[in-house]
């Protein structure tokens, strides 16, 4: 009798569903295409655009529409979002100290030269009268490879009884319904392809396994049936270059919503926004997977495999949600953001320096930084293992061809939970004999 253990079957179904639905998990943050409305504001000049966009965002986000305890909010019907920071402006901030104040302002990570100059001029005003003579808002275009991505504005609202100011950062996502539907079609196709790879490279091989165990299996008085434990197919997906590249392209498609994820990660008032932001930023795990695959191709072609250790894809996914959020906090809430302020202007002509920024250089730089983490961990793990072997040499070692420690983290958890019905044994004797003498 040959049968699959129910617990492992349930777990592998959950694993497969999670892997196949990875592209669609973007909709935890992004709106579905049928809810998208074209809200892009057309104008003949930058001044007209600035006035219209600032007025539009101010009508959505102000002291009336936002409760006092709300710092970050999103309006899905209009596909806009905003963050607010309460700042006391009863003091004069010297121009040289402006950056020290910007670090605490929401959205300062995205500031281009125009927004920085506007904010610093307001902070440098000697008194409230001088501040009231300055413009109360400033906007900029946010581009990706010169293509419109979002429009952002920053503005002050001095309508508080305690004399403080509300500093707002608002964003209008420039996404048409047609583009949103195109993204959904792409993600559905990618989901179906992941399902095809799971079936072709993993699950369909269980069919001949069950048949062979039924027809050729060794039945003894002590073993009257076989319990087949289904495994975790994550490595099948994570080692597929086409899938990893497709997922990376999908992260570029969702670049307009990375801002709301970053704002969610950099606020600590709403647990839901923080968790959703970390999960959306965790999609950048594909940078690490793609980097590991490219390094694997290079190593397999040119050698030097001994310098790298294998990385558990489950641990890499969990770590991406941790260090992805930590990386965002480091870049968006510390002086490190000045590096990104320089990158915003690399692809912008001089005459548009105060009107627009392009996020392509910063996205590529962030992708390289995130991709270097698993490679660095792989080298460090291999170095540590080699050091341990040098310090604990044994007179005789027996290579293992089958052991419970070879399982990835998720399968170790599955076996631990199902330990009442499973037995841990070391196998691989036939492989050891074949390796010693194939004749």
DSSP labels for 418-438? TGGG-----B-HHHHHHHH--
Residue 389 covered by a domain: no
DSSP labels for 132-197? HTS-SEEEEEEEETTEEEEEEEEEEE---TTS-EEEEEEEEE---HHHHHHHHHHHHHHHHHHHHH
Residue 254 covered by a domain: yes
DSSP labels for 183-239? HHHHHHHHHHHHHHHHHHHTGGGHHHHHHHHHHH---BTTB--EEEPP--THHHHHT
Q: What is the largest CA-CA distance in the chain?
A: 95
Can you give the pLDDT at residue 410? 60
375 plus 240 within the same structural domain: yes
81 plus 117 within the same structural domain: yes
Residue 388 covered by a domain: no
44 plus 13 within the same structural domain: no
The length of the chain, given as a count of residues? 439
Range of the structural domain that residue 414 is part of = 394-439
* Domain boundary, last residue among 127, 160, 175: 175
User: How many other C-beta atoms can be found within 10 angstroms of the C-beta atom of residue 224?
Assistant: 8
* Domain boundary, last residue among 353, 379, 405: 379
Residue 278 covered by a domain: yes
123 plus 265 within the same structural domain: no
Q: Look at the chain and report how many structural domains it folds into.
A: 3
pTM (2 d.p.): 0.80
Residue 334 covered by a domain: yes
What separation in angstroms does the CA of 379 have from each of 211, 235, 244, 245? 42, 19, 21, 23
345 plus 404 within the same structural domain: no
433 plus 328 within the same structural domain: no
Residue 387 covered by a domain: no
User: How many helices (H) and strands (E) are present in the chain, helices listed first?
Assistant: 17, 8
Measure the CA–CA gap between 346 and 113, rounded to whole angstroms.
Answer: 12
First vs last C-alpha separation in the chain: 33
- Strand (E) or helix (H) holding 112: none
170 plus 185 within the same structural domain: no
At 344, give phi and psi (nearest 5°): -55, -30
Can you give the pLDDT at residue 419? 61
| pLDDT lower than 50: segments of the chain | 395-398, 420, 422, 424, 426
SS3 state at 84: strand
Can you give the pLDDT at residue 199? 93
Can you give the pLDDT at residue 15? 87
Decide if 41 contacts 49 (C-beta within 8 A). yes
Give the CA angle between residues 165, 166, 169 to the nearest 5°: 140
339 plus 413 within the same structural domain: no
Sign of the torsion angle spanned by Cα atoms 111, 328, 176, 73: negative
| pLDDT tens digits, 278-318 | 778 778 778 888 888 888 888 878 777 677 777 766 677 67
Residue 26 covered by a domain: yes
Decide if 347 contacts 264 (C-beta within 8 A). no
Residue 385 covered by a domain: no
Sheet holding 72-75, edge to edge: 72-75, 80-87, 165-173, 147-157, 137-144, 356-358
Can you give the pLDDT at residue 91? 60
Can you give the pLDDT at residue 291? 83
Give the CA angle between residues 174, 177, 183 to the nearest 5°: 90
188 plus 315 within the same structural domain: yes
* Domain boundary, last residue among 160, 175, 190: 175
134 plus 73 within the same structural domain: yes
Can you give the pLDDT at residue 280? 83
413 plus 298 within the same structural domain: no
203 plus 340 within the same structural domain: yes
What is the 8-class DSSP label of residue 85?
A: E
Decide if 143 contacts 359 (C-beta within 8 A). yes
């Amino acid at each position: 009798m040959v049968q699959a253990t129910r617990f492992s079957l349930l777990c592998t179904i959950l694993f497969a569903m999670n892997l196949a639905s990875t592209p669609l998990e973007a909709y935890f943050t992004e709106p579905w295409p049928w809810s998208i409305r074209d809200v892009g504001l057309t104008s003949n000049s930058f001044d007209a655009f600035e006035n219209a966009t600032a007025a539009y965002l101010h009508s959505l986000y102000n002291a009336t529409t936002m409760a006092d305890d709300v710092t970050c909010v999103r309006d899905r019907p209009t596909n806009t979002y905003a963050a607010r920071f309460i700042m006391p402006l009863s003091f004069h901030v010297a121009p040289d100290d402006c950056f020290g104040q910007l670090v605490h302002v929401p959205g300062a990570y995205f500031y281009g030269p125009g927004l920085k100059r506007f904010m610093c001029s307001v902070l440098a005003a000697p008194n409230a009268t001088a501040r009231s003579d300055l413009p109360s808002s400033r906007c900029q275009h946010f581009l990706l490879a010169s293509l419109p991505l979002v429009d952002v504005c920053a503005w002050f609202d001095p309508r508080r009884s305690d004399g403080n100011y509300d500093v707002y950062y608002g964003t209008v996502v420039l996404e048409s319904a047609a583009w949103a539907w195109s993204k959904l079609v792409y993600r559905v196709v990618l989901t179906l392809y992941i399902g095809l790879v799971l079936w072709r490279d993993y699950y369909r091989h269980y069919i001949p396994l069950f048949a062979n165990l039924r027809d050729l299996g060794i039945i003894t008085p002590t073993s009257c049936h076989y319990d087949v434990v289904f495994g975790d197919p994550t490595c099948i997906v994570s080692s597929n270059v086409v899938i990893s590249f497709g997922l990376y392209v999908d992260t570029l498609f969702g670049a307009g919503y990375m801002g709301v994820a970053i704002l969610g990660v950099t606020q600590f008032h709403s647990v839901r926004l923080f968790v959703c932001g970390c999960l959306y930023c965790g999609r950048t795990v594909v940078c690490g997977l793609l980097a590991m695959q490219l390094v694997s191709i290079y190593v397999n072609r040119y050698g030097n495999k001994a310098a790298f250790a294998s990385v558990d894809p489950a641990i890499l996914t969990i770590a991406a949600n941790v260090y992805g959020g930590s990386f965002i906090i480091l870049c968006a809430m510390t002086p490190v953001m000045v590096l990104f302020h320089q990158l915003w202007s690399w692809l912008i002509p001089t005459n548009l320096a105060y009107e627009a920024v392009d996020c392509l250089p910063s996205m590529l730089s962030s992708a390289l930084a995130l991709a270097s983490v698993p490679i660095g961990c792989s080298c460090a793990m291999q170095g540590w293992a080699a050091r341990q072997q040098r310090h604990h040499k044994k007179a005789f070692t027996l290579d293992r061809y089958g052991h419970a420690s070879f399982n990835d983290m998720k399968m170790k958890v599955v076996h631990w939970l199902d330990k009442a019905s499973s037995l841990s044994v070391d196998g691989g004797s036939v492989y050891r004999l074949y390796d010693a003498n194939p004749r």
